[in-house]
Amino acid sequence: MTDAVLDSLRAAVESAPFDVPLRLHLAGLLVERGLRAEAIRHVASALALEPDNADAAELMARAPEPERKPANVIPLRFVEDERAAVPDDYAGGDLALEIERSEVSLADVGGMTEVKKRLNAAFLAPMRNPELRAMYGKSMRGGLLLYGPPGCGKTFLAKAVAGELGARFLSVGLNDVLDMWLGNSERNLHEVFVRARAHAPCVLFVDELDGIGQKRSRLTTSAGRNVVNQLLAELDGVASSNEGLFVLAATNAPWDVDLALRRPGRFDRTVLVLPPDEPARQAILELNLRDRPVEGVNLKALARQTDGFSGADLAHVCETAAEQALLESVDSGQPRPIGMAELSTAVRQVRPSTAGWFATAKNVALYGNTDGTYDDLLAYLKKRRLL
């Protein structure tokens, strides 16, 4: 079975997403080729459409066999006993932090080819090739900053990076760190890094970095500046080693992040995460409609109609269409599936939430890009004729 045949079948399934026998045929071939994660996704879609399909149930039972790890993925050692990794002088804290093992990878991210290439070049390729990294003297100090409009999948991409590395995943945001009492925010931030180091290898994802690491020149109180100083110290590993700790962050406003956090050795690599492209929009729509009763839906046509929509916008489109079909079912007393009429109406009702972000970003790209930080953003704006 050649890759060309598989690609043809994938294209056929995209054109006819509700053709269950075709989808199961592709899933069976994927299982034979060892592409089990992709096969499971197709079987799950088939079961959502036909829950009693015996062939789908049989394939689902066969698919989850252990997969071989790619030879170039570095072996990562998990610390099973947290007490052995936590410093002896650490008293502990009461933060409710959930550390998980990511089950997703970049293969689960639809489309976004350019983002994946940038992630691979900036972060994943050096991690997977330690010998070449040593040969070229490539340092892995520093973190990776994901920025772009809200609702475009920055958190999911961070989870995918953790899955690619086979590492644990810890996500923290403003509510986990900031506290009204003086000194507690710094203590919380330190505890986050202690927990992440204890579970190394671990991807620590800091959401809304502009809120935690805001420019100190704009802060009117010492409390806010102390939080930024604490984050700088943790990133530098002043008191503890950050070996096996991979720090990623996300922000909708990178221009509000303190400049000291952007210097080499900290968040010195950036990846622009834009609204999903057409293949990604189609995958997102399929995911959001998978467990809903649908009929006669052309996902490819919908993906073309929703250019500029974020992932959150697309989810809202599906929710709006489902609400319309539900109300019509209540009025008629007869359940009816979601069709193209409801989805097209929802597309007209929902406005892309990214327009406001691009209005602000345009000014930054034009007048605040003296060091080339926003060259990728500038190129995108020119391509889309938004300047």
Q: C-alpha dihedral over 50, 54, 59, 61, to 10 degrees? A: 110
Same domain? For 294 and 233 the reply is no
- CATH number of domain containing 38: 1.25.40.10
- Which residue, 210, 242, 272, sits at the end of a domain? 272
- CATH number of domain containing 247: 3.40.50.300
Structure token digits, residue 374: 């926003």
What is the distance of C-alpha 364 from the center of its chain?
Answer: 24
pLDDT, average across residues 242-266: 89
286 pLDDT more than 70: yes
Is there a domain that residue 139 lies in? yes
Same domain? For 124 and 268 the reply is yes
What is the distance of C-alpha 247 from the center of its chain?
Answer: 14
Is there a domain that residue 85 lies in? no
Residue (of 22, 60, 57) closest to 41 by Cα position: 60
Which residues are 248's β-sheet partners? 144, 205
58 pLDDT more than 90: no
Does residue 145 or residue 52 have the better pLDDT? 145
Is there a domain that residue 52 lies in? yes
Is there a domain that residue 67 lies in? no
Number of compact structural domains in the chain = 4
Same domain? For 316 and 364 the reply is no
According to the model, what pLDDT value does residue 112 have?
79
Taking CA 366 as the corner, what is the angle to CA 363 and CA 369, rounded to the nearest 5 degrees?
Answer: 110
According to the model, what pLDDT value does residue 1 have?
54
- What angle, rounded to 10 degrees, do the helices at 340-349 and 311-332 form? 130
Same domain? For 347 and 360 the reply is no
Which residues are 294's β-sheet partners? 338
**Confidence grade of residue 68 (pLDDT, cut at 50, 70, 90):** very low
- Which residue, 232, 257, 272, sits at the end of a domain? 272
Q: In what order do the strands lie in the sheet with 202-206?
A: 99-101, 168-172, 202-206, 245-251, 144-147, 269-272
Same domain? For 268 and 339 the reply is no
Same domain? For 236 and 331 the reply is no
Is there a domain that residue 78 lies in? no
**Confidence grade of residue 320 (pLDDT, cut at 50, 70, 90):** very high
Is there a domain that residue 93 lies in? no
Most confident of 21-25, 250-254, 268-272: 250-254
Long-range pairs for 68-72 at CB < 8 Å and ≥24 separation? Answer: 68/34, 69/166, 72/128, 72/129
pLDDT, average across residues 191-209: 90
208 contacts 165 by C-beta, under 8 angstroms: no
d(CA 325, CA 20): 23
d(CA 197, CA 132): 25
Same domain? For 141 and 30 the reply is no
Min mean pLDDT across 86-90, 185-189, 270-274 is at 86-90
Same domain? For 158 and 217 the reply is yes
252 pLDDT more than 90: yes
Does residue 27 or residue 346 have the better pLDDT? 346
84 pLDDT more than 70: no
77 pLDDT more than 50: no
**What is the span of the domain harbouring residue 299?**
278-351
Min mean pLDDT across 40-44, 60-64, 365-369 is at 60-64
What is the distance of C-alpha 265 from the center of its chain?
Answer: 23
Residue (of 310, 298, 301, 383) closest to 350 by Cα position: 310
d(CA 195, CA 190): 9
Same domain? For 326 and 299 the reply is yes
Same domain? For 158 and 252 the reply is yes
DSSP H helix total and E strand total for the chain: 19, 6
- CATH number of domain containing 286: 1.10.8.60
116 pLDDT more than 90: no
- Using DSSP's 3-state secondary structure scheme, residue 200 falls into coil
**Confidence grade of residue 240 (pLDDT, cut at 50, 70, 90):** low
345 contacts 321 by C-beta, under 8 angstroms: yes
- Residue-wise pLDDT for 350-375, tens only, equals 999 999 999 999 999 999 888 888 99
380 pLDDT more than 50: yes
Same domain? For 364 and 330 the reply is no
- Using DSSP's 3-state secondary structure scheme, residue 245 falls into strand
Same domain? For 342 and 360 the reply is no
Is there a domain that residue 336 lies in? yes
27 pLDDT more than 70: yes
Is there a domain that residue 297 lies in? yes
Length of the chain: 387
